[in-house]
Structure 1
C-alpha cells in the first residue's frame, strides 16, 4: 500500500472495478458511502469522498467511536452519474442518503468493527437513506437489493458483463416508500399491527417502513404470538402427512412431527416463535458453526415456508407452484408480501431467505451475478 499526500492509494497491481452511481432523485444533496472488507488486506474498507482513494480506519480505543474521515461521496445533480472505483471487496454495501449518515466503530481483535447504521437508531432516525449490497471477489461479482431491515430511498441495479448481457433489478418506483407505508397501514388489525412498521419524518411525510424484526425491537410487544396458531396447525398437519423438503443433492427429504419436533432427514426442529420466523435466526433456526450441511439446506426452506405461509396449503417446500401461492394465508409476512407487490419487478430480499425457490420458479431475491462483470450501475431514487 502506497501513501501520497498522507492518503492511502491502491497498489499498482491491485484489481479495480468501476461502479456508476446514478442520481434519479430530485435532490442535489445526495451522498453515497462505499464500505466492505478489503479481500487483499482483510480489513475494513471505506472509499473517501473522491470515490477512488481507500480509507482503512484505525482500531478505535473505545466502542462507538465515530468514523474519523468524512467518506461521503457527493453525487452530481439529478440525472447525473458519478463513477467510483473499488478493489476486491467482500460483504460490501453502498449507502445512499439525502444529506449525511453517521458511522461508528467498535474495537476488534483484528481491527475495527463497523456498526452498521440502523434505521431505528437516534443518529440516523430522521435521515432518508437506502442500501445496495455486493461482493466482488476473484470469481464473480454478486449484488442485490435488500429490504430485510427496511424500505427506504429506492435503489435499482444494472450489471453488465463482458459478453454484452445486462441483468436488471428495478427496485422501488420513486413513490414506492409511500405506497408500501400506505399498504401496511391498511392491513387489517386482526392480522397484527403492521402500521407500527411505518416511520414518518418530523414533517409527517412517509420516511421508511422497517422490517418486522426491527419493528419488534422498536416495539417489544409487537407481533407477540402472531405465528403461534399457524405453527400449531403446521405441527398438527405433519403428524400424519409427510412434509417434503426439496434440497440440492439429496432432493426431496420427508419430514414428520414426532415427540413435539419436526424431523426432516434426521434433523429435528422445535416449534419456531414469531421472532424466529421473521429473523430466520433464532430457536430452531439458529445456525451453529459446525451444523451439518443438510441442516444448513433444510432450515432456509422451512423459514421461507413460514414467511410465505405455504406450509398448510402445500406439503412441499419450496412451494412447487412458486410465487402464485405465496402470502395467501391471513397469517403471513405482510411486509414481505407488500414489498414484492410494490417493487417494479417483484424482486428484492424482503426476508433473509427470500432466494429460496423451486427450480424454474421466478427469483424473488433481487440479485444479479456475473463471472465476467464489466460495469455495475446503481441508481438511487427510483425510475
Structure 2
C-alpha cells in the first residue's frame, strides 16, 4: 500500500489541536536503512532576500517527548504545563543576512517527527498543552491554518524530517500548503543529494491562479490565499484546510461518475501483491467484487473526503486491499480522471496529461504541479502509472555526514538551474534546455507541468552536454527522463547516457518511440548499467532514426 504523503500525527500529541485548531507534532517516516550516528552537522542558510530570518528545529526525542533543538545542537524537552496553551521558551535561531555564511550546529540527539521552520520578519509563537490521553506526554502546539491562529500573518514555512539510527529522511511537501521556498542538500553514504526550492514567483502564480479559478466557477478557491497586513501573499492553503466549506462542489462530477459506472466496470489496480479489483455502482454504492469494505462502503464522498483523502468512504481503513483501492479512488477523484479516456482503468489507463482536465477538479493540485517542479499536492499524489508519479522532494541517507537546509535557493543546488562548472547534483532535476553544449537540437515551448522549454527536433547523431554533474561517492541505480514523442509509425531511437564524451562510458539507455504526441509527457526510468561516482560531464547521445523521434523536458538520477 502507498504511504500517505501528509503530515503524520506523532504519538503522544493528542488533544493539542483542540486548543488552537492547529496541526500536531508531525514528520516523515522512512524505511530502515544503515545505522546513523547521533551526530549530524546541520547548516541553516538564509537566501530569502530578507535580513530578518529565524529558524527553529522541533520534533520529539526517541521516547516521543516533544521539544526543540537549541543553537548548541542539543535537544530541549518541553515542560509539562498545568494550563492549556502555555507559551514555551524562545528556541529561535537567528540567521545572518541573506546570502551570508550559514548558521551551523550539530544535532547531537535523534529526532523523530521533526520540522525545520523558518520565519521572516518576526518570530513564530509556539505553545504547549498539558498531557491528556496521550501517555503522559505534553503536546506541542504548532502554527495552524486558521485566521484565529496567532501566527496567521507571520510569514513562515518548514520542511519535515526524521533523524534516527536508521537514517536521515527529510522532505518538502505541498500536501497542506505552499509557502516560502525551502531547499535541502545532504552528503553521506548515499552521496550528494539535493532538493530544489519552489521556483521564484510560483507562490504568487498559484495564488493568482486560484483567484482566477474562483472568478470562473464561484468556488472558494480564493479563500485559500492567506495574506499579511499589507496584502502580500504569505501562504496558499490546500483545500483540505479551507476556511470555507466547498459544500457541493463535487456533486455534479460525482453524479456523472456514479451514473457512468452503473453500466460500465471500473478496474482499480492495487499494484504489487494487491492485484486488481473490478467494481460497478448499484444502489448508490460502488462495489468491488471480492473486496471487503470493512463496514465502510464506497458511497459518494463529500468535498472534505476528497480533498483530505482521510474520511468517509475514502478513509484508508481495513485490509491492505481496501486501503489501496481507497487511495487510488481518492487520487482519481482529485485529478478528475475517472471519465477521461482510459479512466475505467485506474491508475494505469490514464496518462498524467489527462489529469485535472475536467472543469471540476482539485485546482490547487493542478496549479501546484504547473508551477512546482517537485512535491506532492494531496496525500495520495504518489498514485500513478509506473514511473509517472510526481517527483517526491526528499533526501534519504543511512549514514549522513552533513545536512543543509536553506530558506530560498542554495541548499537544493538549484535543481532547475543550468549545470555549471561548480557541479550540479546528479540527483536534482536537470532541465534539458540547460545544456552547456549541443548539436542538432532545438529548444521549444513546453506544455508539461511547470511550462518552460523542452529540447526537441532530435534524431540520430544529435547530442546534449551537461557539464560537471556530481554523483557523489556512490553510484545511482536509475536514470529517469521526462520525454515525449509524436514520431511516425516505425520511427524510434535510443537516448544513450554517456560520461565525459560522446563516445564515453555508457551508463544507461532508454529506447523510445511514439507515445501519443510531442507534448504527451511520460516519465521513463532506465537501470544504470555502469557505475558513476564523482564529477563527470554527462552527454545525452541520440541514436536510431534519422527522423525526429523524441523530445526531452528534464532528467535526473535516482538511488
TM-score (norm 2): 0.61
The reply to whether residue 323 of structure 1 matches residue 352 of structure 2 is yes
Aligned mate of 1:73, from 93, 100, 117:
93
The reply to whether residue 232 of structure 1 matches residue 255 of structure 2 is yes
The reply to whether residue 369 of structure 1 matches residue 400 of structure 2 is no
| Matched ranges for 1:77-96 at <5 A | 77-79=97-99, 80-86=101-107, 87-96=109-118
Q: Deviations over 1:28-51 (max 9, x none)?
A: 211111111212x33113112x15
Counterpart of 1:300 in structure 2 is 327
The reply to whether residue 192 of structure 1 matches residue 219 of structure 2 is yes
The reply to whether residue 58 of structure 1 matches residue 79 of structure 2 is yes
| Matched ranges for 1:1-383 at <5 A | 15-39=38-62, 41-48=63-70, 50-67=71-88, 69-79=89-99, 80-86=101-107, 87-98=109-120, 99-108=122-131, 109-120=135-146, 121-166=148-193, 168-187=194-213, 188-190=215-217, 192-215=219-242, 218-219=243-244, 222-247=245-270, 248-264=272-288, 265-267=291-293, 268-288=297-317, 291-313=318-340, 314-343=343-372, 345=373, 347-382=374-409
SS, match of residue 239 in structure 1: helix
Q: Alpha carbons of 1:15 and 1:322: their partners in 2 closer, same or farther (altered >3 Å)? A: farther
Alpha-carbon distance in structure 1 between the residues aligned to 2:382 and 2:188: 22
Shift of 1:209: 1.4
Contact 1:20 1:377 in 2 (8 A): yes
Alpha-carbon distance in structure 2 between the residues aligned to 1:88 and 1:62: 29
Q: Alpha carbons of 1:16 and 1:262: their partners in 2 closer, same or farther (altered >3 Å)? A: farther
Q: Deviations over 1:127-182 (max 9, x none)?
A: 0011101122333332221222222111123343424242x332312332222211
Alpha-carbon distance in structure 2 between the residues aligned to 1:310 and 1:277: 13
Contact 1:44 1:56 in 2 (8 A): yes
Counterpart of 2:534 in structure 1 is none
Q: Deviations over 1:90-123 (max 9, x none)?
A: 2211111112101111122321111221143431
Alpha-carbon distance in structure 2 between the residues aligned to 1:21 and 1:209: 24
RMSD over equivalenced CA pairs, Å: 2.2
SS, match of residue 281 in structure 1: coil
SS, match of residue 311 in structure 1: coil
Shift of 1:287: 4.2
Counterpart of 1:8 in structure 2 is none
Counterpart of 2:443 in structure 1 is none
Alpha-carbon distance in structure 2 between the residues aligned to 1:338 and 1:375: 33
- State the number of aligned residues: 359
Alpha-carbon distance in structure 1 between the residues aligned to 2:39 and 2:204: 37
Contact 1:51 1:83 in 2 (8 A): no
Q: Alpha carbons of 1:305 and 1:365: their partners in 2 closer, same or farther (altered >3 Å)? A: farther
Q: Who wins on radius of gyration, i.e. which is larger? A: 2
Alpha-carbon distance in structure 2 between the residues aligned to 1:126 and 1:293: 41
Alpha-carbon distance in structure 1 between the residues aligned to 2:248 and 2:348: 25
Deviates more, 1:271-280 or 1:30-39: 30-39
Task: Point out where structure 2 has 5 or more consecutive residues left out of the alignment.
Answer: 1-35, 415-559
Alpha-carbon distance in structure 1 between the residues aligned to 2:377 and 2:105: 28
Contact 2:53 2:118 in 1 (8 A): yes
Higher relative contact order (CA 8 A, sep 6+): 1
SS, match of residue 401 in structure 2: strand
Q: Alpha carbons of 1:258 and 1:129: their partners in 2 closer, same or farther (altered >3 Å)? A: same
Contact 2:250 2:303 in 1 (8 A): yes
Counterpart of 1:9 in structure 2 is none
Alpha-carbon distance in structure 1 between the residues aligned to 2:347 and 2:43: 36
Shift of 1:319: 4.5
Structure having the higher helix fraction is 1
Shift of 1:191: 5.8
SS, match of residue 405 in structure 2: strand
SS, match of residue 186 in structure 1: helix
Alpha-carbon distance in structure 2 between the residues aligned to 1:15 and 1:230: 51
Alpha-carbon distance in structure 2 between the residues aligned to 1:321 and 1:373: 38
